Copies of this chain bind each other. A is one copy, B any other.
């Protein structure tokens, strides 16, 4: 009944640490393969899809930075080596669902701020990923801790 392949969606900020830790604990308990994914959302899309300026250089920088951070994350969590890490462009829900289908993922783990109200309309990644997901989804609650 345990999961065979767990895919963790990371936002590459410090917030993703508890998400990876939870996913790792599940993977260790169930001897599951563990993979990482980070999605870079295309800037043109973020600005509304009709921006006259050339964003390709900025996008490349964004992609390179994400790649470096993802490599750093893999070094920080060497146990993730059993799986793959993916870095793709696109709309998070679609890319995560596609990867899950391609790689026979049976659990997607994603961080959730547990926000409601306005974000219910705007959508959050956790909520978005849940809809139409090809497999189970674990939303790990992220809690803002008071600064030390």
Comparing A46-54, A69-77, A83-91, A132-140, the segment that makes contact with chain B is A132-140
Chain A 97-148 interface residues, beta-carbon cutoff 8 Å to B: 112, 114-116, 119-120, 126-127, 130-141
Contact of A114 among B132, B138, B139 (CB under 8 A): B132
Number of copies: 2
CB distance from A64 to the nearest CB of B (A): 32
Task: Please tell me the number of chain A residues within 8 Å of chain B, measured between CB atoms.
Answer: 29
For A126, the chain B residues whose CB sits under 8 A away are: 130
CB pair B29–A136 under 8 Å, yes or no, is: no
A81 at interface by CB-CB < 8 Å: no
Contact A134 B130 (CB under 8 A): no
